[in-house]
Amino acid sequence: MNQTSDFNADMLDGLSPFYNDSHILWRDQLRHFLEREIIPHIEEWETAGELPRSLHKTAAEFGLLGMGYPEEYGGTSEGVDPFHKLLTSMEMGRMGAGGVGASLMTHGIGLPPILAIGSDEMKQRIAPPVLAGDKIIALGITEPSGGSDVAAIKTRAVRDGDDYVVNGSKMYITSGMRADYLTCALRTGDGGSGGLSLLLIEMDSPGVTRTKLEKMGWHASDTAAIYFDDVRVPVGNLIGGENQGFAGVMQNFNGERLGMAASCVGAAKACLEDAVNWAQQRETFGKRLADHQVIRHKISEMVRKIKATQAFLELCAWRINEGETPAADLALLKVQATRTSEFCAREACQILGGASFMRGNRVERIYREVRVNAIGGGSEEIMLDLAARQMGI
């Protein structure tokens, strides 16, 4: 089944107060880039289990990696707002290959803490090669024992002269096998959130080992378990202050959740496009699938959920652009978006029937990937409880 279809979900959007010509131009240019450089190779990379490093350089030269990052480090920031980033995530999600987007764009979660609270020296040393596609940076938060409970991190960094000595492990690390740098949350103080720090670990350091993990979905993304055995990290690689890393982690999560929600909207639209295209072409019992009321209702429900989710997404982006930090709504948005994506993937599978069970089409890939979106970046359960606490309930 083709990756693109005659029906385009963009036709349903109508006029929006949030997008101008710059946004639409970026979306169209990015879509052409993805169709030319990435989509034809998705199955090849899914089989290989990782992306070629050369793709990072290609994406950087196009301007994808630097979109929204400071000009002084090789990015593009003039005239860029959260809606350019939303469209980027939606277009990446529309490919129906979450592993490609997650692994190619890992700098989106690994680099922001450095730019937000890192030293000037670190910013100048790390950001330019990452945004140029020469180096890969990942984020190390999750551990085997803690999952989404950041305050329970056990991997420890102990000060020893001009170094920290790191021991412990990280689990489910996206781009973990290929990363040159790891922005890592570690325990430098007592238990709880107050004893956490962020360190930049260079992954070729003695004592760092990694094991590749096989997954249900995101096959094109290399995911790793990473182990630290007396790894020495210079004190200059501390990101922000010692024992002040928890706030940096939480701030980073808000941006990650917005991006994940946008990619889920893109994936849901992909499911809608392929389902409509199939229903308009496929005939059963002497008429098109689209002429069966039950199929039309499925499609209408998909559209309803997508429209509601996209409206919520765009409102959150607008509030962020106005200087707000709507943590409760971002948590609820992530739940709304992942459930919408899961619903649309399920309904698209029902409409496509046996074709949806075959490898090589984006609906099949999206269906395998719904769980990672509902779990990663904070599980549904954590998000709902966080929202309630933020609302003072």
Residue 186, SS3? strand
Q: Over 80: is that where the pLDDT of 2 sits? A: no
The neighbouring-strand residues paired with 76 are: 67
Average pLDDT over residues 58-65: 97
pLDDT at 158: 97
Q: What is the pLDDT of residues 35-50, one digit of tens each?
A: 999 999 999 999 999 9
Task: Flag whether the pTM goes above 0.75.
Answer: yes
Q: What is the pLDDT of residues 201-220, one digit of tens each?
A: 999 999 999 999 999 999 99
Consecutive H or E run containing 325: none
List Cα–Cα distances, 309 to 37, 303, 318, in angstroms.
29, 10, 14
**294 vs 55: CA distance, rounded Å:** 43
Q: Over 60: is that where the pLDDT of 4 sits? A: no
Q: Domain 9-108+123-131 maps to which CATH number in 3.40.50.300, 1.10.3720.10, 3.40.1360.10, 1.10.540.10?
A: 1.10.540.10
Q: Over 50: is that where the pLDDT of 1 sits? A: no
CATH topology of domain 137-245: Butyryl-CoA Dehydrogenase, subunit A; domain 2 (2.40.110)
Q: What is the pLDDT of residues 162-177, one digit of tens each?
A: 999 999 999 999 999 9
Q: What is the pLDDT of residues 282-335, one digit of tens each?
A: 988 989 999 999 999 999 999 999 999 999 999 999 999 999 999 999 999 999
Average model confidence (pLDDT) across the chain: 94
Q: What are the sequence ranges of the domains in the chain?
A: 9-108+123-131, 137-245, 247-390
Question: Can you identify the CATH homologous superfamily of domain 247-390?
Answer: Butyryl-CoA Dehydrogenase, subunit A, domain 3 (1.20.140.10)
pLDDT at 3: 44
* Cβ proximity of 95 and 362 under 8 Å: yes
Annotated active-site residue 364? The verdict is no
pLDDT at 5: 53
For the chain, the farthest-separated pair of C-alpha atoms sits apart, in whole angstroms, at 79
Instruction: From the candidates 46, 50, 143, 256, give the one annotated as an active-site residue.
Output: 256
Residue 78, SS3? coil
List Cα–Cα distances, 15 to 11, 19, 67, 195, 337, in angstroms.
10, 9, 24, 48, 21
* Cβ proximity of 163 and 235 under 8 Å: yes
* Cβ proximity of 255 and 112 under 8 Å: yes
Which segments of 49-180 does DSSP mark as H helices, in order? Answer: 53-62, 82-94, 98-104, 107-110, 112-117, 120-131
> Cα torsion at 261, 264, 42, 253 (round to 10°)?
20
167, exposed or middle or buried, with CB in 10 Å at 0-12, 13-18, 19+?
A: middle
Which segments of the chain does DSSP mark as H helices, in order? Answer: 21-37, 42-48, 53-62, 82-94, 98-104, 107-110, 112-117, 120-131, 245-281, 293-321, 327-352, 362-375, 380-390
**189 vs 201: CA distance, rounded Å:** 18
**249 vs 82: CA distance, rounded Å:** 20
Query: pLDDT band at 253, cuts 50/70/90?
Result: confident
